[in-house]
Amino acid sequence: MSVRLEPDRRRPELASRCATQIEKPFWNPRSGAFDGAQLRRAIVLRGWTVREFAVVSNVSLACLYRALGDYGVTDDTATKIFNGLRKRQLLPPIPELPNAR
């Protein structure tokens, strides 16, 4: 036998969020896995390509692609990635053009 809760009795924080809106952490220290999409965005917003970032952060390209693929990496690799991200600030936003569509 299942019990259905009335809509007003549900917890609002669960009812208002669907599975796609749950925020994934940037780095999970338990598994050693980065969120690949967030990591790629962080690299690109600093003006690097993945290959350039691998050189700057002293991480092998294979390890960096593992991190971008949501696979776990060692703590040493994660530290190098974080230190590499600290080396450059985010690029300034592009101003809107008056007649752009």
Domain limits, the chain: 34-87
What band does 94 get if pLDDT is binned at 50, 70 and 90? confident
Assess contact for 32 and 75: CB atoms under 8 A.
yes
Measured over the CA atoms of residue 12, residue 16, residue 20 and residue 21, the dihedral's sign is: negative
Query: Is 59:80 a contact under the CB 8 Å cutoff?
Result: yes
Are residues 71 and 36 in contact, defined by beta-carbon separation less than 8 angstroms? no
Q: Which is more confident, 10 or 94?
A: 94
Superfamily of domain 34-87: lambda repressor-like DNA-binding domains (1.10.260.40)
The pTM of this model reads 0.72
Q: What is the helix (H) or strand (E) element at residue 81, kind and residue range?
A: helix 75-86
The total number of residues shown for the chain amounts to: 101
